[in-house]
Amino acid sequence: MTGFVVQGHIYIPYAYCVFTYLCIIIVKQNVDIEQLSIFLQVEPTATILDIKSMFHKSSKFFNGCVILLISEGKPLRDEEILQELPVGTTATFYFRDLGAQISWGTVFLIECIGPLVIYLLFYFRLPLIYAPKYEFTASKHLVVPIACVCHSFHYMKRIVETLFVHRLSHSTMPLRNIFKNCSYHWCFAAWMAYYINHPLYTPPYYGEKQVKAALAIFLFCQLGSFSIHMALRNLKLPSCKIKKIPYPTKNPFTWIFALVSCPNYTYELGSWLGFTLMTQCVPVLFFTVVGFIQMTVWAKGKHRSYLKEFKEYPTLRSPILPFIL
């Protein structure tokens, strides 16, 4: 089969394309079309994932790399079907090499395992952390071991959720992101653990009552967070790509769905507020504030996405804080 070039685009004679196949031209972004382009014949029912697979088999330069197909300036999802896209018998897609990638699950596991281990190093007061006379000693304050259990429980819960609960919508992320994500969690864990487990640490002002109240808040929000994650998991079946609006279930912890779009972030904020109240430690407060700012950005984005996708989306809901934010 032969084609011809008109104003930088490759066209294939219509007779070759009707009825059975569509003609696809895949071109690398920001590269002359004559330098790097790939021609494919695909069935109209092919998905973008099928086209990517054919692309990798046809390209000796990008075999095995992770790519993003783009049409009219918009990235295409793997599950989109060719015949449902606004293309004719000949379509030109552009691809972008995404570079080195790593799975989201792997990133989440590394993010969580790091703080879990780092905190315990400070809790057991390993050598070179504090003065030699404090090596492998225990704190006399009850709040210190309680805080250690709460911190460890939080990250162990996240590990379990990553392995058995979450259904991640994006399979990979740029490898460079792992350094940014891990540095945030790991450094804050070290900063918090250093002061909470310090030999000169001062317990909360109101003592045992404050610790018990904060512990109740922390555990309540941790159960709430897990309940929300389970509800979201049950909402999205593995083989189903259809998005649904999350609604409250029989589980009381999910009733907050009536007021906020992202209650998982609401409960996460509540957990760290409880931990801040429990430890009365400035680094924990900083971590809570920074985390709240980031979660607010994510929640607002998710809220906008819900409003855009669903015309019947409940208008009473706020992104993260009921009636406020």
Q: What is the pLDDT of residue 24?
A: 54
- Return the beta strands (E) in 121-175 as ranges: 172-174
- The model carries a pTM of 0.78
The answer to whether 310 and 245 are in contact (CB under 8 A) is yes
Listing DSSP states for 102-121 in one string gives: EEHHHHHHHHHHHHHHHHHH
Tell me the C-alpha to C-alpha distance, in Å, between residue 281 and each of 21, 197, 206, 287, 307.
65, 11, 14, 10, 38
Q: Pick 111 or 74 by higher pLDDT.
A: 111
Q: What is the pLDDT of residue 34?
A: 45
Please give the average per-residue pLDDT across 280-295, as a whole number: 96
- Encoded amino acid at 134, one letter: Y
Tell me the C-alpha to C-alpha distance, in Å, between residue 50 and each of 45, 46, 93.
10, 6, 14
Please give the average per-residue pLDDT across 143-164, as a whole number: 96
Distance CA 59, CA 18 (A): 25
Give 294-314 pLDDT, tens digit per residue: 999 999 999 999 999 999 999
Q: Pick 101 or 9 by higher pLDDT.
A: 101
Give 56-86 pLDDT, tens digit per residue: 676 654 544 555 555 555 676 777 777 777 6
Q: Pick 242 or 281 by higher pLDDT.
A: 281
Distance CA 126, CA 129 (A): 6
Q: What is the pLDDT of residue 12?
A: 39
Tokens for 141, please give them.
């304050």
Give 40-57 pLDDT, tens digit per residue: 667 777 777 777 777 767
Q: What is the pLDDT of residue 69?
A: 57
The residues pairing with 69 across neighbouring beta strands, listed in sequence order, are 95
In the CATH scheme, what is the code of domain 22-99? Answer: 3.10.20.90
Q: What is the pLDDT of residue 167?
A: 77
Q: What mean pLDDT, rounded, does the chain reach?
A: 82
Phi then psi for 310, rounded to 5 degrees?
Answer: -120, 115
Q: What is the pLDDT of residue 226?
A: 96
Phi then psi for 147, rounded to 5 degrees?
Answer: -65, -40
Structural domain boundaries in the chain: 22-99, 102-309
Tokens for 303, please give them.
């809220």
Tokens for 65, please give them.
């790399």
